Structure 1
Amino acid sequence: MSRTEAEIAGLMADAVEFSLHHVEAGGLPFIGVLVGDDGYVSDFGVNEVARTGDPTAHAEIVAMRTAMHDLGRSDLEGSWLLATGEPCGLCYSFALDHRADRIYVAVDGDAVTGQGFDYGGSYAAFGIDRAQLAGIIHRIPVARGLAPFERYLDLRHRGISTRPPSSTHPKGTS
């Protein structure tokens, strides 16, 4: 079963909507989901760093670990990672090390940085050259793609979020 661009866009739109609800519940706007060419779709992964104390429990990694567990495999070959925000260096490294075929993003890193999530320095730390990922990374613009990030920022500015305030919100520590 081969996925069409329309199917991927639909799954991404679902992830963005889930992200909006997750933000309203006090979570971060980053959501990851794995889809396989064989029809597999993982549960939505959310950032679990604060809950678990695991600094690697970013939304994308949670989704990838879930997929590998569900599929009984140690790799992601034949699978695509969908992420509401462009992955950080750690998440890219995990996806590449585990052989995800493609990575789709709703919002790129520059737009996410504009919302206070600046993890650009993580790319060099993990040896990621975003320019060399051109054949793997695909942007899937979806309606309301930036909305979860804007809503998160709005809630933070109004003091509604339960997360500690700061000027920037590193992906792995909030």
Structure 2
Amino acid sequence: MQGLPVVFAMDRGGIVGDDGRTHQGVYDIAFLRILPGMTLMAPKDEAELRQMVWTAYRHAAARRGPIGVRFPRGTGTGVPLDAPLAEVPIGVSETLREGTDLAILAYGHPVSAALEAAEALARDGLEATVVNARFAKPLDAERILALAAASGRFVTVEEHVVAGGF
């Protein structure tokens, strides 16, 4: 991409049941992550998508290289969209729930499923930290290493193939 200020808006990222077997967005992370200087992000909901689109615009306007925003097909979850536009810090994840028994790091739309799983685990006496990864590239390596060291139990959740995924 020669460091060009390109924005990729990747619609239908992940598993898309209604589009049929041949129209699944499960290889995009793999083929874009290998590009030098590429930034890849995916929102947990429509409010974060709004902020990420703004971030991508600002990233391109500042000529900071190529950037991609991956989002699912369909409607959002119904969260408010009234927050002022602000850039999402590149490569910084977001802790949504604190726990001590294991860490769940989720990327994109599956963040809501990760939160539901953490609630189910809590009913069984296991407390999970849930982190919205936000970025497949660059990864928040500092937080990932801290989470792995804290409990020794680590799970990632994404809608992508294993090889080359998040």
TM-score > 0.5 by shorter chain: no
Using structure 2 for the length normalisation, give the TM-score.
Answer: 0.29
Q: Which has the larger radius of gyration?
A: 2
Higher strand share: 2
Using structure 1 for the length normalisation, give the TM-score.
Answer: 0.28
Higher helix share: 1
